[in-house]
Amino acid sequence: MNLVSTVFDRKSYGGWRRVVIIVLCAKNKPGFTDGSLVIPIADLAFQKAWSCCNGMIFLWLLNSLSKEIVESVLYSQSDKELWSDLDDRFGQTNDFKFTKQKRFLTLADNAYHAIEEVDQGGSGFSNAETLTQENIGKLLQ
């Protein structure tokens, strides 16, 4: 069974992740990936049922990943471990890009206001030049 119609292949992790979460919620199974539904210790019958569901979700997740990614997560011990591994590896990229864009917009806004000050007869241009020289290195990090 396919969990989602698109195989995740390192592109658009955020969108793929969102669709998987929606599908798991619709199937009443999000606790396996978020860790809120842990293996029951006291009851052997519940352990077997939990293991069966964990295996089913594990296969759903594997079927929604590219072959290259499957090879790297195949030996995860649980859905939670697989899900956490994917988040660690692919979830950071979008946050990093967003932070970089935010820094750039802040830099551009500060430079705009400094140049605007020059247009009004102030000394803001030297501040804008310093601001750019000081922050362009930070922006590229």
pLDDT band at 16 (very low <50, low <70, confident <90, very high): very high
pLDDT tens by residue, 30-49: 999 999 988 888 889 999 99
Instruction: Read off the tokens for 121.
Output: 């007869």
Instruction: Report pLDDT for 125.
Output: 47
